[in-house]
Structure 1
Amino acid sequence: MKQRIGIRLLVVLGILGGLLLGLDRLFPVPPAPQYSPLVLAQDGTVLHAYLNPTQKWRMKTELREITPVLRRAIIEKEDRWFRWHFGVNPLALVQAAGRNVFGTGRTTGASTITMQVARLLEPKERTFGNKLLEMARATQLEAHHSKDEILQLYLNLVPYGGNVEGVKSAALLYFQQTPDYLSLAQTVTLAIIPNRPRGLVLGKNNAAVRRERNRWLRRFRAAKLFPKQDIADALLEPLEVQRHAAPTLAPHLSRRLVRQYPHAAIIRSSLQRAKQSKAEDLTRNYVRRLRELGISQAAVLVVNNRTRRVEAYVGSADFRDFRGQGQNDGITAVRSPGSTLKPFLYALALDRGLVTPKLLLPDVPTNFQGYRPENFDKNCNGEVTLERALAYSLNIPAVRVLQDLGVPTFTEQLQRAGFRSVARNRARLGLSSILGGCGASLEELTGLYATLANGGRYGPLGLTVNIHAGASPPGPLSEKGEGELEASRLSSSKKLKASSPSPFSERGLGGEAPGRGLGVALVSPAAAFLVTDILSQLTRPDLPLGAASSTRLPKIAWKTGTSYGRRDAWSIGYNRDYTIGVWVGNFSGQGSPALTGSDVATPLLFDLFNTLAYNSPNDWFAPPAALDFRLVCAESGRVPGENCPNQVIDYFLPSVSSGQRCQHQREVLVSADGSFTYCRACAPAAGFRRELYPNLLPEVAAYKESQGLPYRRLPPHNPQCQRVRGGPERAPSITSPTANTEYVLNAREQPQLLLSCTTDSEVRQVYWYVNDQFLRAAAATERVFFRPGPGPLKISCADDHGRNTDVLVTVSEL
């Protein structure tokens, strides 16, 4: 008999359990509330807050922010038996029913904290039937969540008047603190308002709120809830509060992160609040002084080199400046980088043994297969060392080095460094890419310079912390589901994976930034050090006026850049601890005569370093063990040959740097009177002498000749010699017109076409032909003009040694 009763009881319990389970699935727990997206600083303080989709301030209170004081005050006031009941307090129901039926005492609904959560999640008219549903939901909530999670939900949903909901929203908007930083008096103030959100309005009824606060403080003292002295102090605390605006620091980064993590209620960024605030103030005040020059915007990015985290992110001078398009993000905007890529180019060339710091590079007007770059000041220097070419940001030597290195090699490394525009347009990029002919953003350039500061190793920059990939998604009502773990789920999804790396790749945004020593090696530590050593020199033209005499000049390596038309000014610098990138200009693309990297971007860069990194350790980069010294010829920068009396010390990379011997002078057979030279084929048995002459490149010799610069010129060759000397590589090089180019001429203006060339130093005369018809003879450096007819033209140039060069062009008339 007892056995049958037990079986029946189990069957009944099973049916009841199945029924409850079915009801639970049929009527699932209500979805989590929609929170106001919050972007936090690295220390957890709120940088920026947004209204939630229903236009309410409902900021998520995290479990760690629910202090024991707040917990005890809420439970004592709202539901003393919260820890013991299952969502409904039967004793409170009986007491409430008695009071309501017999009219004794205050009429109540005996709502527990859990029942209030159920009502706040699903607001309904207060009827007896809805009260029963509320109790059922409360029981369901208790089955799905812990007491701490239910209390957290309650504190996130309680009303504080108007569109303010939740303890954290009230704490930030009225006390400008998160709940875990409030005093006892402030905590009790927030605990008493939800029951009377319309009557107790902070900022309007402060006196009434204070009286009600003190009444509850005395009740808590009677209940011995808090120490007597703490309550005594709280009773004396004044209440002079008003509604404040929500935090709005780092608006550009906050908008970017909220868009990237649309379901995250809380995103902890990598920013340092103090650095962000200082950077915004410095940028805003600095740009105010530039407005009279027609310059309205600037952007700043500050990176911690040791962690590769972004610690300040200023997308524009003023986010609210609609006239200046302040809501544009200057960090991600793709602009012409000007000369800012030159350090990376020279580092790559150093690693491939093409150059060393003291190597002399031609700095003369040069036609690179139709591309004729000019230096910024329109002047040339003849020949300069690599370190001077970089320190003075000369364009022509940089283009020559890029030609030697190869554009594909250069752009491939930029792609590895996360340059997205370069990756998309690699096939179309040419030699102009080193002078700003490729697009780049401030985030990409700053990441590249952080790579140099990190010994040549590239890694993605971090914008967030404490978001770890691989976290499993929680349930529908889990508070974690709307917070950081939800963001981590998104960051690990396939939707966010990029096909090419980026300095702000999803991997970098989604978690801890890699530390020093990790990442991809783009250049060697030796090459990075050599470039850094050059960029830290103070003898350079891009030093701001008066900066050399300033005691506030920071110890940094930096490089400036100015785009074509003076539309963009760049200055990016670094030391061991920080890399800071600065862009100044107009989002409209309008240029300004004053807009140069040295004049308007570098002063802000120096101010940022002096303000943000003033307490950085005063240590500097040390030469890597892979570097060594050697003597080189001062005239060429190469390993000394037989005729190199002037020598200097230069860095080099053993087994990498070129060991080519210097040939800046060559031995020539000269007639006794010095009037002409002999080649080996026509040299007489006697009556000549051996002399040393400069062995200049043809373009360098032509430049010296055109500028009237003194140099020892080679005498003409023996006129009796019948042998054509030298191969086609020593033939004249036609610099104008450009091969395979169409020239459109205005017939009414009687235009003329320029003919010019460069030749060996021994060439005295050249002969010009048009369509195989002789035009005229000219000196080797003479500029010849003629008026062509329309149609295809074959331009030929022969020198006095019989060597010939042809180019094909087309002429059209308007």
Structure 2
Amino acid sequence: MRIPVWVTAIHAAILAMAAGLFVLDRALPPDMGRGTEMSVVVTDSGGRALRVFPVEDGRWRLAADIDRIDPAFIDALIAIEDQRFYEHAGVDPLAVMRAALTSARAGRIVSGASTLTMQTARLLEPRPRTLGSKIVESWRALQLERRLSKDEILELYLSLAPYGGNLEGIRAASWAYFGREPERLTAEQIALLVALPQSPEVRRPDLRPANARTARAAILDRLAASSLLTPARAGEAAGEDLPSRADFPAAAWHAADEARRRAPGVTDIVTSLDGGLQAELESLARAEAELAGHDVQIAILVVETRTRAVRAAVGSAGRDRQGGWIDLTDRARSPGSTLKPFIYALAFDDGFATSGTRMADIPRAFSAYQPENFDRSFRGDVTVAEALQHSLNVPAVLALDAVGARRFAASLDFAGAHGRITASGDDDAGLAIALGGVGLTVREVATLYAALGDGGSARPLSWLDDQSDIDAATPAQPLMTRETADEIVSILRRAPHPGGRMPAELSRGAPRIAFKTGTSWGFRDAWAAG
């Protein structure tokens, strides 16, 4: 039987159209750029948000995760915006017909037929609202459905949907209006979050509360009509107060910067920080700095010895204070006497001294270098343990002279503490390392003391909770033997308290802390490490 020519022509036209659409789809794919530019959220190890970074244009746009959004909100959104979302392929012919009939009867446009996928296409590539734009959005919606799952399309929509001002996406709106993630929402919160993207500026609860209340009530009525709420619950929710606009989390300012540097391209960064401890130490740093004077800054770093996890990092006492924008945990400063334990550790390992070795704390010149103690007095004959506990300078320089200043500096460098030294080419300048004549950061000093508390093995600090921190994977480096580390810790535990003897009722049963203080030349920097 011969096939009619017109049938062949139709088949050829269909094939040509399909081929053309295939080529067009590949040649002009949807622009997903806006869907990849997301705010960064930095959390502590328990998931508590510490700081949120806006995108470059100042907008708050947080990547949505369907598994972390209240399912009741998803049900409400689909019931209001796109009831056949899981059935259509991007464009809903039934919705188009319904909208056309409704508008024809009313003589004006009453409702649109945009599916959630079409709205997502418009959010990805904003255009003026014209018939031509609607055709492009329909085509883009079909393209999105070919490339993404329904959940992925929902996540895109919920990341980009406008919520008024510089808020985009449900997470940004939930943080701004409710102060938390949208994992568990009340009926009134769900209704407001569904209503806002329809007219985000007109319905802003912080600027136009009457409009927001009316829109929320209308959504609640529709949810009740859809049996997603009881009429009683809808009425109760409609009477609830509207939220005000809140600030995004902005704690752990410098630590969050460091975490972001270590996890490029990641939008939700889980750090090793303890949010509660971080908040306490930020308050402590500010209070102590205010007592000390307007030109004083404070930095604090807390590291878990066993894991090297950074549990708290305070880069300054406040960005409103002089130098407060600088992360002082990462700026080299003179460490004062905090390196003395490591000088004696090297001397112990070399067999040059033990904790009971006696040394002369008397005036002595090392070529042109003549150290003296903090109180400008000398103790005479002392043991190494006493010299370290009282931070005597001459014995420390004697020990450094014995082990070699350059060798000691190399051991610090090997452990990850890269001293900044102005090379002068003579040994006298090198001996000043014992009293702080080298620049180290708080992070580097913490690395050394963590090694001291962990049997003498030095490892980099870890800032991220999921073990993705590249530095943290660096193998441990031996700084001293375990026996020496234990001996140095024992000596430091018996050091006198810097504030004098503590009352028995305050110190009874308290753990003995192995610590060392340090003061740089000119009293510019005061340290405490342990």
TM-score, scaled relative to structure 2: 0.90
Q: Distance in 1 between matches of 2:16 and 2:362?
A: 95
User: Are 2:415 and 2:478, in contact at CA under 8 Å, matched by a contact in 1?
Assistant: no
Q: Deviations over 1:283-330 (max 9, x none)?
A: 111111111xx7521011111223221111111111122xx1211111
Equivalent positions of 1:794-805 (< 5 A) are none
Q: Distance in 2 between matches of 1:192 and 1:150?
A: 19
Q: Which position in structure 2 is the counterpart of 1:115?
A: 118
Name which of 378, 381, 391 aligns with 1:380. 378
Q: Deviations over 1:379-427 (max 9, x none)?
A: 2222211110110011111111111112232112111221233499697
Equivalent positions of 1:170-319 (< 5 A) are 170-225=173-228, 228=230, 231=233, 235=237, 238-258=240-260, 263-291=265-293, 296-319=296-319
Q: Which position in structure 1 is the counterpart of 2:488?
A: 531
Q: Distance in 1 between matches of 2:450 and 2:79?
A: 54
Alpha-carbon shift at residue 361 of structure 1 (Å): 1.6
User: Are 1:415 and 1:422, in contact at CA under 8 Å, matched by a contact in 2?
Assistant: no
Residues 456 and 253 of structure 1: is their aligned pair in 2 closer, same or farther, counting only changes over 3 Å? same
Q: Distance in 2 between matches of 1:298 and 1:230?
A: 55
Q: Deviations over 1:760-797 (max 9, x none)?
A: xxxxxxxxxxxxxxxxxxxxxxxxxxxxxxxxxxxxxx
Equivalent positions of 1:376-525 (< 5 A) are 376-422=374-420, 430-466=430-466, 468=468, 507-508=470-471, 513=472, 519-525=476-482
Residues 195 and 149 of structure 1: is their aligned pair in 2 closer, same or farther, counting only changes over 3 Å? same
User: Are 1:184 and 1:230, in contact at CA under 8 Å, matched by a contact in 2?
Assistant: no
Q: Distance in 2 between matches of 1:272 and 1:230?
A: 42
Q: Distance in 2 between matches of 1:233 and 1:444?
A: 60
Question: Which amino acid in the other structure matches residue 376 of structure 1?
Answer: F
Q: Secondary structure at the match of 1:180?
A: coil
Q: Which position in structure 1 is the counterpart of 2:33?
A: 32
Residues 533 and 567 of structure 1: is their aligned pair in 2 closer, same or farther, counting only changes over 3 Å? same
Alpha-carbon shift at residue 233 of structure 1 (Å): 9.0
Q: Distance in 1 between matches of 2:16 and 2:454?
A: 67
Residues 97 and 218 of structure 1: is their aligned pair in 2 closer, same or farther, counting only changes over 3 Å? closer
Q: Which position in structure 1 is the counterpart of 2:102?
A: 99
Equivalent positions of 1:326-341 (< 5 A) are 326-341=324-339
Q: Deviations over 1:159-207 (max 9, x none)?
A: 1112222111111111111111433321222121111212221124445
Alignment: residue pair count: 523
Q: Distance in 2 between matches of 1:467 and 1:383?
A: 49
User: Are 1:411 and 1:426, in contact at CA under 8 Å, matched by a contact in 2?
Assistant: no
User: Are 2:79 and 2:226, in contact at CA under 8 Å, matched by a contact in 1?
Assistant: no
Q: Which position in structure 1 is the counterpart of 2:506?
A: 551
Name which of 570, 585, 605 aligns with 2:527. 570
Q: Distance in 1 between matches of 2:267 and 2:25?
A: 27
Q: Which position in structure 2 is the counterpart of 1:345?
A: 343
Residues 190 and 414 of structure 1: is their aligned pair in 2 closer, same or farther, counting only changes over 3 Å? same
Q: Which position in structure 2 is the counterpart of 1:769?
A: none
User: Are 2:65 and 2:155, in contact at CA under 8 Å, matched by a contact in 1?
Assistant: yes
Alpha-carbon shift at residue 377 of structure 1 (Å): 1.8
User: Are 2:362 and 2:379, in contact at CA under 8 Å, matched by a contact in 1?
Assistant: yes
Q: Does 1:73 align with 2:76?
A: yes
Alpha-carbon shift at residue 10 of structure 1 (Å): 9.2
Q: Secondary structure at the match of 2:330?
A: coil
User: Are 2:224 and 2:231, in contact at CA under 8 Å, matched by a contact in 1?
Assistant: no
Residues 182 and 434 of structure 1: is their aligned pair in 2 closer, same or farther, counting only changes over 3 Å? farther
Q: Distance in 2 between matches of 1:264 and 1:230?
A: 44
Q: Distance in 1 between matches of 2:479 and 2:145?
A: 56
User: Are 1:415 and 1:423, in contact at CA under 8 Å, matched by a contact in 2?
Assistant: no
Moved more, 49-58 or 271-280: 49-58
Which structure 1 residue ranges, 5 or more long, are not aligned?
A: 469-505, 574-814
Alpha-carbon shift at residue 18 of structure 1 (Å): 4.7
Alpha-carbon shift at residue 556 of structure 1 (Å): 1.5
User: Are 2:361 and 2:380, in contact at CA under 8 Å, matched by a contact in 1?
Assistant: yes
Higher strand share: 1
Equivalent positions of 1:698-709 (< 5 A) are none
Q: Distance in 2 between matches of 1:551 and 1:458?
A: 34
Which structure 2 residue ranges, 5 or more long, are not aligned?
A: none
Higher helix share: 2
User: Are 1:156 and 1:167, in contact at CA under 8 Å, matched by a contact in 2?
Assistant: yes
Q: Secondary structure at the match of 2:335?
A: coil
Residues 54 and 295 of structure 1: is their aligned pair in 2 closer, same or farther, counting only changes over 3 Å? closer
User: Are 2:73 and 2:185, in contact at CA under 8 Å, matched by a contact in 1?
Assistant: no
Q: Deviations over 1:434-483 (max 9, x none)?
A: 21111101011011111111121111111123374xxxxxxxxxxxxxxx
User: Are 2:221 and 2:234, in contact at CA under 8 Å, matched by a contact in 1?
Assistant: no
Residues 391 and 550 of structure 1: is their aligned pair in 2 closer, same or farther, counting only changes over 3 Å? farther
User: Are 1:297 and 1:317, in contact at CA under 8 Å, matched by a contact in 2?
Assistant: yes
Alpha-carbon shift at residue 152 of structure 1 (Å): 0.8
Residues 554 and 328 of structure 1: is their aligned pair in 2 closer, same or farther, counting only changes over 3 Å? farther
Q: Distance in 1 between matches of 2:261 and 2:133?
A: 38
User: Are 2:412 and 2:419, in contact at CA under 8 Å, matched by a contact in 1?
Assistant: no
Q: Secondary structure at the match of 2:522?
A: coil
Residues 113 and 455 of structure 1: is their aligned pair in 2 closer, same or farther, counting only changes over 3 Å? same
Alpha-carbon shift at residue 87 of structure 1 (Å): 0.8
Q: Deviations over 1:481-532 (max 9, x none)?
A: xxxxxxxxxxxxxxxxxxxxxxxxx623xxxx569xx722221221111111
Q: Distance in 2 between matches of 1:413 and 1:242?
A: 56
Question: Which amino acid in the other structure matches residue 462 of structure 2?
Answer: G
Question: Which amino acid in the other structure matches residue 151 of structure 2?
Answer: D
TM-score, scaled relative to structure 1: 0.60
Residues 461 and 548 of structure 1: is their aligned pair in 2 closer, same or farther, counting only changes over 3 Å? farther
Question: Which amino acid in the other structure matches residue 146 of structure 2?
Answer: A
Residues 402 and 112 of structure 1: is their aligned pair in 2 closer, same or farther, counting only changes over 3 Å? same
Larger radius of gyration: 1
Q: Deviations over 1:79-114 (max 9, x none)?
A: 111111111111111222223344368622200001
Q: Which position in structure 2 is the counterpart of 1:584?
A: none
Moved more, 187-196 or 325-334: 187-196
Residues 404 and 111 of structure 1: is their aligned pair in 2 closer, same or farther, counting only changes over 3 Å? same
User: Are 2:61 and 2:168, in contact at CA under 8 Å, matched by a contact in 1?
Assistant: yes
User: Are 2:308 and 2:461, in contact at CA under 8 Å, matched by a contact in 1?
Assistant: yes
Q: Distance in 1 between matches of 2:303 and 2:486?
A: 19
Q: Distance in 2 between matches of 1:264 and 1:29?
A: 23
Q: Which position in structure 2 is the counterpart of 1:644?
A: none
Q: Deviations over 1:228-278 (max 9, x none)?
A: 499469627722421112211011122344455564433222212111111
Q: Distance in 2 between matches of 1:232 and 1:129?
A: 39
Q: Which position in structure 1 is the counterpart of 2:23?
A: 22
Q: Does 1:145 align with 2:156?
A: no
Alpha-carbon shift at residue 378 of structure 1 (Å): 1.8
Q: Distance in 2 between matches of 1:236 and 1:347?
A: 70
